[in-house]
Amino acid sequence: MSRFCPAPKRRVVMAASAAGLVLAAAGVSSHAIAQDFPTRPITIIVPYTAGGPTDMMARAIAKHMTGSGGQPVVVENRAGAGGAIGTAATARSAPDGYTLVLNGTLGHALAPMLRPNTAGYAVADMSAVGVFSRSSNFLVVAPSLGVKSVKELIDRAKAAPGKISFSSAGLASNPHLGAELFKALAGVDLEHIPYKGVSATVPDLVEGRVPVAFASPTLALPLLKDNRLVALAVTGEKRMKGWEHLPTIAESGVPGYVFESTYILVAPGKTPPAIMRRLNDLLQRSLDDPDTINALDKLGLETMKNTPAQADQLVQAELQRWSGIITRLNLKLE
Protein backbone atom coordinates (compact mmCIF):
# COMPACT_ATOMS: atom_id res chain seq x y z
CA MET A 1 0.00 0.00 0.00
CA SER A 2 2.97 2.26 0.44
CA ARG A 3 3.13 2.84 -3.31
CA PHE A 4 -0.15 4.75 -3.06
CA CYS A 5 1.10 7.25 -0.42
CA PRO A 6 2.32 9.90 -2.88
CA ALA A 7 -1.19 10.39 -4.28
CA PRO A 8 -2.71 11.82 -1.08
CA LYS A 9 0.34 14.08 -0.69
CA ARG A 10 -0.15 15.37 -4.23
CA ARG A 11 -3.81 16.05 -3.44
CA VAL A 12 -2.83 17.97 -0.30
CA VAL A 13 -0.32 20.06 -2.26
CA MET A 14 -2.86 20.67 -5.02
CA ALA A 15 -5.52 21.63 -2.47
CA ALA A 16 -3.16 24.01 -0.73
CA SER A 17 -2.19 25.56 -4.05
CA ALA A 18 -5.83 25.99 -4.98
CA ALA A 19 -6.56 27.60 -1.62
CA GLY A 20 -3.66 29.98 -2.16
CA LEU A 21 -5.01 30.93 -5.55
CA VAL A 22 -8.45 31.56 -4.04
CA LEU A 23 -6.97 33.75 -1.30
CA ALA A 24 -4.84 35.62 -3.80
CA ALA A 25 -7.87 36.17 -5.98
CA ALA A 26 -9.82 37.37 -2.98
CA GLY A 27 -7.04 39.81 -2.16
CA VAL A 28 -7.07 41.19 -5.68
CA SER A 29 -10.85 41.44 -5.54
CA SER A 30 -10.72 43.28 -2.21
CA HIS A 31 -8.15 45.69 -3.60
CA ALA A 32 -10.20 46.22 -6.73
CA ILE A 33 -13.35 46.86 -4.70
CA ALA A 34 -11.49 49.42 -2.59
CA GLN A 35 -10.14 51.11 -5.73
CA ASP A 36 -13.69 51.50 -7.04
CA PHE A 37 -15.15 52.46 -3.65
CA PRO A 38 -17.53 54.21 -3.27
CA THR A 39 -19.97 53.22 -5.99
CA ARG A 40 -23.05 54.55 -4.16
CA PRO A 41 -23.82 57.16 -1.51
CA ILE A 42 -22.15 56.99 1.92
CA THR A 43 -24.15 57.87 5.02
CA ILE A 44 -22.53 59.55 8.03
CA ILE A 45 -24.77 59.18 11.07
CA VAL A 46 -24.59 61.99 13.61
CA PRO A 47 -26.01 60.58 16.85
CA TYR A 48 -27.33 63.98 17.98
CA THR A 49 -29.89 66.49 16.78
CA ALA A 50 -29.22 68.72 13.78
CA GLY A 51 -27.56 72.08 14.20
CA GLY A 52 -25.14 71.24 17.00
CA PRO A 53 -21.33 71.32 16.74
CA THR A 54 -21.02 67.61 15.91
CA ASP A 55 -23.60 67.99 13.16
CA MET A 56 -21.81 71.04 11.73
CA MET A 57 -18.43 69.31 11.59
CA ALA A 58 -19.99 66.23 9.96
CA ARG A 59 -21.53 68.34 7.22
CA ALA A 60 -18.26 70.17 6.61
CA ILE A 61 -16.39 66.88 6.20
CA ALA A 62 -19.14 65.24 4.14
CA LYS A 63 -19.13 68.11 1.64
CA HIS A 64 -15.51 67.54 0.63
CA MET A 65 -15.66 63.74 0.90
CA THR A 66 -18.45 63.92 -1.70
CA GLY A 67 -16.14 65.74 -4.10
CA SER A 68 -13.18 63.44 -3.51
CA GLY A 69 -15.08 60.17 -3.64
CA GLY A 70 -17.36 60.96 -6.58
CA GLN A 71 -20.46 59.83 -4.67
CA PRO A 72 -22.75 61.76 -2.34
CA VAL A 73 -21.87 61.64 1.36
CA VAL A 74 -25.05 62.40 3.29
CA VAL A 75 -25.49 63.24 6.96
CA GLU A 76 -28.31 61.59 8.90
CA ASN A 77 -29.22 62.60 12.45
CA ARG A 78 -30.21 59.79 14.83
CA ALA A 79 -30.26 61.31 18.29
CA GLY A 80 -30.79 59.60 21.62
CA ALA A 81 -29.12 57.95 24.61
CA GLY A 82 -26.15 60.30 24.56
CA GLY A 83 -25.11 59.18 21.07
CA ALA A 84 -25.49 55.45 21.68
CA ILE A 85 -28.54 54.97 19.43
CA GLY A 86 -26.85 56.25 16.27
CA THR A 87 -23.61 54.42 17.07
CA ALA A 88 -25.42 51.13 17.70
CA ALA A 89 -27.23 51.51 14.37
CA THR A 90 -23.86 51.86 12.66
CA ALA A 91 -22.45 48.84 14.49
CA ARG A 92 -25.38 46.73 13.21
CA SER A 93 -25.03 47.89 9.60
CA ALA A 94 -23.20 45.98 6.87
CA PRO A 95 -19.40 46.29 7.18
CA ASP A 96 -19.04 47.67 3.66
CA GLY A 97 -17.97 51.26 4.34
CA TYR A 98 -21.29 52.83 3.36
CA THR A 99 -22.56 53.56 6.89
CA LEU A 100 -20.35 55.53 9.31
CA VAL A 101 -20.89 57.43 12.54
CA LEU A 102 -19.25 60.66 13.68
CA ASN A 103 -19.02 61.30 17.40
CA GLY A 104 -16.86 62.63 20.17
CA THR A 105 -14.11 60.10 20.85
CA LEU A 106 -14.87 60.08 24.57
CA GLY A 107 -18.61 59.60 24.08
CA HIS A 108 -17.98 56.81 21.58
CA ALA A 109 -15.49 55.01 23.81
CA LEU A 110 -17.32 55.32 27.12
CA ALA A 111 -20.97 54.72 26.19
CA PRO A 112 -20.75 50.91 26.52
CA MET A 113 -19.18 51.34 29.97
CA LEU A 114 -21.76 53.90 31.09
CA ARG A 115 -24.71 52.06 29.53
CA PRO A 116 -23.71 48.39 29.79
CA ASN A 117 -27.26 47.11 29.25
CA THR A 118 -28.57 49.59 26.70
CA ALA A 119 -25.69 51.02 24.63
CA GLY A 120 -26.30 48.37 21.98
CA TYR A 121 -22.66 48.09 20.93
CA ALA A 122 -19.18 47.42 22.24
CA VAL A 123 -16.10 49.38 21.24
CA ALA A 124 -14.76 46.12 19.79
CA ASP A 125 -17.74 46.12 17.37
CA MET A 126 -16.39 49.24 15.66
CA SER A 127 -13.35 50.25 13.59
CA ALA A 128 -12.01 53.79 13.67
CA VAL A 129 -11.56 55.52 10.30
CA GLY A 130 -9.73 58.41 11.94
CA VAL A 131 -9.67 60.84 14.84
CA PHE A 132 -9.91 64.02 12.82
CA SER A 133 -10.08 67.02 15.15
CA ARG A 134 -9.52 68.20 18.69
CA SER A 135 -10.24 71.24 20.79
CA SER A 136 -9.27 72.58 24.14
CA ASN A 137 -12.06 73.74 26.41
CA PHE A 138 -12.20 76.79 28.67
CA LEU A 139 -12.34 76.83 32.45
CA VAL A 140 -14.79 79.69 32.91
CA VAL A 141 -16.44 81.38 35.88
CA ALA A 142 -19.21 83.89 36.35
CA PRO A 143 -17.93 87.44 36.93
CA SER A 144 -19.87 87.54 40.20
CA LEU A 145 -17.65 84.82 41.66
CA GLY A 146 -14.83 87.36 41.82
CA VAL A 147 -12.15 84.84 40.79
CA LYS A 148 -9.43 85.83 38.32
CA SER A 149 -7.11 82.80 38.23
CA VAL A 150 -7.03 79.04 38.65
CA LYS A 151 -5.08 79.45 41.89
CA GLU A 152 -7.78 81.74 43.30
CA LEU A 153 -10.46 79.20 42.36
CA ILE A 154 -8.55 76.38 44.03
CA ASP A 155 -7.97 78.45 47.16
CA ARG A 156 -11.66 79.40 47.36
CA ALA A 157 -12.74 75.78 46.83
CA LYS A 158 -10.38 74.48 49.50
CA ALA A 159 -11.62 77.09 51.96
CA ALA A 160 -15.25 76.06 51.38
CA PRO A 161 -15.38 72.39 50.29
CA GLY A 162 -18.49 71.55 48.28
CA LYS A 163 -19.80 75.12 48.38
CA ILE A 164 -18.80 76.12 44.84
CA SER A 165 -20.73 74.38 42.08
CA PHE A 166 -20.03 73.63 38.43
CA SER A 167 -22.47 72.91 35.62
CA SER A 168 -22.38 70.30 32.89
CA ALA A 169 -24.53 69.07 30.04
CA GLY A 170 -25.29 65.92 32.05
CA LEU A 171 -23.67 63.01 33.84
CA ALA A 172 -20.50 61.78 32.09
CA SER A 173 -20.63 64.59 29.53
CA ASN A 174 -17.29 66.10 28.53
CA PRO A 175 -17.73 69.12 30.86
CA HIS A 176 -18.50 66.78 33.75
CA LEU A 177 -15.49 64.54 33.15
CA GLY A 178 -13.19 67.52 32.62
CA ALA A 179 -14.26 68.90 35.99
CA GLU A 180 -13.85 65.54 37.75
CA LEU A 181 -10.28 65.31 36.45
CA PHE A 182 -9.65 68.84 37.75
CA LYS A 183 -11.09 67.96 41.16
CA ALA A 184 -8.90 64.88 41.42
CA LEU A 185 -5.65 66.58 40.40
CA ALA A 186 -6.23 69.88 42.21
CA GLY A 187 -7.53 68.21 45.36
CA VAL A 188 -10.73 70.25 45.58
CA ASP A 189 -14.40 69.47 46.17
CA LEU A 190 -16.80 71.15 43.74
CA GLU A 191 -20.51 70.35 43.63
CA HIS A 192 -21.75 68.98 40.29
CA ILE A 193 -25.04 70.35 38.93
CA PRO A 194 -25.99 68.40 35.77
CA TYR A 195 -28.35 69.92 33.21
CA LYS A 196 -30.19 68.50 30.22
CA GLY A 197 -27.93 69.83 27.48
CA VAL A 198 -25.33 72.54 27.13
CA SER A 199 -27.63 75.48 26.35
CA ALA A 200 -29.61 74.87 29.54
CA THR A 201 -26.52 75.68 31.63
CA VAL A 202 -26.07 79.22 30.31
CA PRO A 203 -28.58 81.27 32.39
CA ASP A 204 -27.41 79.90 35.74
CA LEU A 205 -23.77 80.04 34.71
CA VAL A 206 -23.68 83.69 33.65
CA GLU A 207 -25.85 84.79 36.59
CA GLY A 208 -23.51 83.04 39.00
CA ARG A 209 -26.01 80.60 40.48
CA VAL A 210 -23.77 77.75 39.26
CA PRO A 211 -20.64 79.78 38.64
CA VAL A 212 -18.05 77.36 37.22
CA ALA A 213 -17.93 75.35 33.98
CA PHE A 214 -15.52 73.54 31.71
CA ALA A 215 -17.02 74.90 28.52
CA SER A 216 -16.47 74.11 24.85
CA PRO A 217 -15.37 76.93 22.54
CA THR A 218 -18.81 76.85 20.91
CA LEU A 219 -20.45 77.70 24.22
CA ALA A 220 -17.75 79.87 25.77
CA LEU A 221 -16.53 82.15 22.98
CA PRO A 222 -19.68 84.27 22.46
CA LEU A 223 -20.10 84.68 26.22
CA LEU A 224 -16.44 85.60 26.71
CA LYS A 225 -16.55 88.18 23.93
CA ASP A 226 -19.60 89.79 25.58
CA ASN A 227 -17.81 89.75 28.97
CA ARG A 228 -20.59 87.60 30.41
CA LEU A 229 -18.01 85.04 31.57
CA VAL A 230 -14.40 85.16 32.73
CA ALA A 231 -11.90 82.64 31.31
CA LEU A 232 -9.31 81.39 33.80
CA ALA A 233 -7.43 78.89 31.63
CA VAL A 234 -7.68 76.42 28.78
CA THR A 235 -7.82 72.69 29.35
CA GLY A 236 -5.55 71.46 26.57
CA GLU A 237 -1.90 70.49 26.41
CA LYS A 238 -0.97 73.84 24.84
CA ARG A 239 -2.37 77.35 24.69
CA MET A 240 -5.23 77.98 22.31
CA LYS A 241 -4.83 79.79 19.02
CA GLY A 242 -6.15 83.32 19.40
CA TRP A 243 -6.16 83.02 23.19
CA GLU A 244 -2.44 82.69 23.77
CA HIS A 245 -2.65 85.03 26.78
CA LEU A 246 -4.60 82.37 28.67
CA PRO A 247 -2.47 79.73 30.42
CA THR A 248 -3.25 76.05 30.41
CA ILE A 249 -4.57 74.53 33.63
CA ALA A 250 -1.31 72.57 33.93
CA GLU A 251 0.63 75.85 33.73
CA SER A 252 -1.65 77.29 36.39
CA GLY A 253 -0.58 74.95 39.17
CA VAL A 254 -2.32 71.66 38.34
CA PRO A 255 0.50 69.49 36.86
CA GLY A 256 -0.59 66.73 34.52
CA TYR A 257 -4.00 68.21 33.74
CA VAL A 258 -4.89 67.81 30.06
CA PHE A 259 -8.43 67.51 28.81
CA GLU A 260 -9.18 67.86 25.10
CA SER A 261 -12.32 67.03 23.17
CA THR A 262 -11.50 64.91 20.12
CA TYR A 263 -13.82 63.71 17.37
CA ILE A 264 -13.82 60.48 15.45
CA LEU A 265 -15.27 58.91 12.31
CA VAL A 266 -16.11 55.24 12.85
CA ALA A 267 -17.14 52.28 10.67
CA PRO A 268 -18.65 48.92 11.62
CA GLY A 269 -16.16 46.32 12.75
CA LYS A 270 -14.96 43.82 10.12
CA THR A 271 -15.03 46.48 7.40
CA PRO A 272 -12.27 45.29 5.01
CA PRO A 273 -8.89 46.96 5.65
CA ALA A 274 -8.65 48.15 2.05
CA ILE A 275 -11.96 50.00 2.36
CA MET A 276 -10.89 51.42 5.73
CA ARG A 277 -7.78 52.80 4.08
CA ARG A 278 -9.87 54.29 1.29
CA LEU A 279 -12.23 55.94 3.81
CA ASN A 280 -9.25 57.27 5.72
CA ASP A 281 -7.84 58.72 2.50
CA LEU A 282 -11.16 60.47 1.75
CA LEU A 283 -11.18 61.85 5.30
CA GLN A 284 -7.59 63.11 5.02
CA ARG A 285 -8.38 64.84 1.73
CA SER A 286 -11.33 66.56 3.37
CA LEU A 287 -9.07 67.80 6.17
CA ASP A 288 -6.74 69.35 3.57
CA ASP A 289 -9.58 71.39 2.07
CA PRO A 290 -9.50 75.10 3.07
CA ASP A 291 -13.30 75.19 3.48
CA THR A 292 -13.19 72.25 5.89
CA ILE A 293 -10.29 73.76 7.84
CA ASN A 294 -12.16 77.07 8.07
CA ALA A 295 -15.40 75.41 9.20
CA LEU A 296 -13.62 73.44 11.93
CA ASP A 297 -11.61 76.50 12.97
CA LYS A 298 -14.84 78.43 13.56
CA LEU A 299 -15.83 75.68 16.00
CA GLY A 300 -12.52 76.05 17.83
CA LEU A 301 -11.21 72.80 16.37
CA GLU A 302 -7.74 71.87 15.17
CA THR A 303 -7.47 69.15 12.51
CA MET A 304 -5.70 65.86 13.25
CA LYS A 305 -4.40 63.17 10.91
CA ASN A 306 -3.81 59.52 11.74
CA THR A 307 -4.26 56.03 10.34
CA PRO A 308 -7.15 53.75 11.31
CA ALA A 309 -4.77 51.75 13.54
CA GLN A 310 -3.55 54.91 15.27
CA ALA A 311 -7.13 56.10 15.75
CA ASP A 312 -8.06 52.77 17.37
CA GLN A 313 -5.10 53.23 19.73
CA LEU A 314 -6.41 56.68 20.71
CA VAL A 315 -9.78 55.13 21.56
CA GLN A 316 -8.09 52.53 23.76
CA ALA A 317 -6.09 55.26 25.48
CA GLU A 318 -9.30 57.11 26.33
CA LEU A 319 -10.77 53.93 27.82
CA GLN A 320 -7.72 53.34 29.97
CA ARG A 321 -7.58 56.95 31.13
CA TRP A 322 -11.21 57.27 32.17
CA SER A 323 -12.26 53.82 33.34
CA GLY A 324 -10.81 54.41 36.81
CA ILE A 325 -12.61 57.73 37.26
CA ILE A 326 -15.92 56.27 36.08
CA THR A 327 -15.54 53.33 38.45
CA ARG A 328 -14.62 55.61 41.37
CA LEU A 329 -17.67 57.82 40.74
CA ASN A 330 -19.88 54.76 40.11
CA LEU A 331 -21.22 56.48 36.99
CA LYS A 332 -24.05 54.69 35.20
CA LEU A 333 -26.53 56.25 32.78
CA GLU A 334 -29.27 53.62 32.90
Which pLDDT belongs to residue 34?
A: 64
* Homologous superfamily, domain 138-234: Periplasmic binding protein-like II (3.40.190.10)
Which pLDDT belongs to residue 310?
A: 97
Listed by start position, the domains of the chain span 35-135+261-329, 138-234
Which pLDDT belongs to residue 29?
A: 54
Q: What is the mean pLDDT of each run of 10 residues along the chain (334 residues)?
A: 39 40 47 79 94 92 91 95 92 97 94 92 96 96 98 98 95 91 96 90 97 94 96 96 95 96 96 97 96 92 95 94 88 84
Kindly report the pTM of this predicted structure.
Answer: 0.82
CATH 3.40.190.150 holds for 35-135+261-329 = yes
Which pLDDT belongs to residue 3?
A: 37
Neighbours of 222 (CB within 10 A): 12
- With CA atoms as reference, report the closest residue to 187 among 148, 150, 146: 150
End-to-end CA distance of the chain: 69
How many Å apart are CA 283 and CA 266, to the nearest integer? 11
Neighbours of 94 (CB within 10 A): 10
Which pLDDT belongs to residue 189?
A: 97
Which pLDDT belongs to residue 10?
A: 39
Which pLDDT belongs to residue 30?
A: 55
Which pLDDT belongs to residue 196?
A: 84
Q: Is 195 left (phi over 0), alpha (psi -120 to 50) or beta?
A: beta
Which pLDDT belongs to residue 17?
A: 41
How many Å apart are CA 42 and CA 55, to the nearest integer? 16
